[in-house]
Chain A
Amino acid sequence: MSEFLYLYRGGERDSSPEQAQQTMQKWMKWLTDLGQKGHVKDQGQPLERTGKLVQGSKKTVTDGPFAEAKDVVGGYTLIEARDLDQAVDLSKGCPIFEFGGAVEVRPVMKLSM
């Protein structure tokens, strides 16, 4: 088993509390199913859309968002899968696709010493 990071990008945020609740239920269901199959290493956390960006040798601080809205990382989950193909396959159940978002699947690099 290898580890992969799902980065959730873009996707519209819900307008009403009822919608938000429904969306949360969907995420809950998805992560629970994945967890029961033994694929979830760490559920991770959702992230706020705004924040600060610190960059450059002068460590300049600027306000977010940092990129176009559709590219903003909205959260992450650490999962376990046989290989990249399976990790990609598993990501297809993510509710983010209903909201026009994307899942970026990134293998965790294994550093050999």
Chain B
Amino acid sequence: MVAVLTRIFGVQNLALAEDVVQDAFCRALEVWRMRGMPDNPAAWLMTTAKNCALDALRRERTARTFEPELSRFLQSEWTLAPAVEELFSPNAIKDDLLRMMFSCCHPRLKEEAQVALMLNILCGFSVDEVAGAFVSSHAAIEKRIARSKKVLASSKKLFDVGAAAEFSQRLPAVQRALYLLFNEGYHGASPETAVRADVCREAMRLTAVLLEHIAGRTPSTYALAALMALHAARLPARVDAAGNLQPLIDQDRSQWDAQLIAEGQRLLDLSASGPELSEYHVEAAIAWVHATAHRAEETNWAEIVKLYDMLIEIRPSPVVALNRAIALAQRDGAHRGLDEIRAIAGAEALAKYPFYHAALGELELRSGRQETARSHFEAAVGCARNPMERRFLQQRVHSCKGSPQSESA
């Protein structure tokens, strides 16, 4: 909604757009309290927003300048209402989302600022919710978002998605932001829950909008969408009925979403048209190998190691190296994995990452060194970012004390 309204008012009036949305919500709540929820709240809200927009346009007509190419239509009552009507049509809304997505990925903004801005403007997350998703304080996120909005507003004009050269130039930044957004939901460091399915869904929705655009429909966008679908397919099994985090190996695979896996496979096929091999291709391929193994023992670890080797070439990072080491341990045994983990360059960056210590603990445990394993798991508990992670890691600590059989507890 903010995206549509910003298109109408112009990016310099971003705050006005947000006020109008706020206004529409307040009006809706007032009426609903009196008369009860309407049958179609979303449509009702859209209509209310449309009317609020008309009011604001009439009120501010003389005081402000709106989006330059539209202002002619917005100045005159002859065309004001039909123009706004058209801007609220489903197709126009999709264009607005896209325009806003690209505008949020302004080169003057850092990646985390872009993601925060997307969550706030495009997904309608409040400052508190964004702060929750980023494990950051309300004040820090508020400042980050306010500063980013100022950058956005000073750009005077929303990104022109029709300009082919700029579009493909900024596309990687948009893909990256969507990827981070999805990750934030999937591995996120949210203090209450380990998995924010709503954030994942938003990332998938925005990626789908990108796929509908002719220039956005690149092999790497398909790969990104495939990656999201294949990971999302595992979401139902990632947390068990008791709210405990389940590692991939122990997940009840019958709970995986077969439809999403099929969708991921379809998208992955579509991504394989052309010479481009992006990090999203490789990550999607890894997710696909996991998703198609009906039992953990059937996992093709050799293939996964090969894919991680490729990923390290394309985008080297300590986390990728860690995952590669875990895959190596699965293929060749715990000692091999431990050697690899110890050899990771830049492991300091992982010192606060709970699953770095957990991986060390797991492999030590498998090698029969209970004591060492326990101290690693204890270090992992110390890094846990939410109660779910803490509970999960605590269990691993306990499993070290008893006999090796209790490992699966």
**A interface list, Cβ under 8 A from B:** 21, 24-25, 27-28, 31-32, 35, 40, 42-46, 75, 77
Contact = CB atoms under 8 A, between A and B. Distances in A.
26 contacts: A21-B82, A24-B81, A25-B82, A27-B78, A27-B79, A27-B82, A28-B78, A28-B79, A28-B82, A28-B83, A31-B76, A31-B78, A31-B79, A32-B73, A32-B79, A35-B72, A40-B72, A42-B76, A43-B72, A44-B76, A44-B78, A45-B77, A45-B78, A46-B78, A75-B78, A77-B78
Nearest to B76: A43
B323 interface: no
A43 B75 contact: yes
A-B CB proximity, top 4 nearest: A43-B76, A28-B82, A24-B82, A28-B79
Interface in B63-94: 72-73, 75-79, 81-83, 85
**B contact patch SS:** helix
Given A43-B73, A77-B78, 9 more contacts: A28-B82, A31-B76, A42-B76, A43-B72, A43-B78, A43-B79, A45-B78, A46-B77, A46-B78
A24 B54 CA distance: 15
Contacts of B81: 24
Nearest to A47: B77
A25 B75 CA distance: 16
A89 to B, nearest CB: 20
Contacts of A75: 78
Contacts of A45: 76-78
Contacts of B73: 28, 32, 43
Contacts of B76: 31, 42-45
Contacts of A46: 77-78
Nearest to B82: A28
Contacts of A27: 78-79, 82
Contacts of A40: 72
A95 to B, nearest CB: 11
B89 to A, nearest CB: 12
Contacts of A77: 78
Most buried by A among B75, B76, B78, B82: B78
Contacts of A25: 82
Contacts of A28: 73, 78-79, 82-83
A21 B187 CA distance: 49
Nearest to A45: B77
Contacts of B77: 45-46
A80 B81 CA distance: 24
Contacts of B72: 35, 40, 43
A42 B73 CA distance: 10
Contacts of A21: 82, 85
Nearest to A27: B78
Most buried by A among B73, B77, B83, B85: B77
A24 B72 CA distance: 16
Contacts of B75: 43
A38 to B, nearest CB: 12
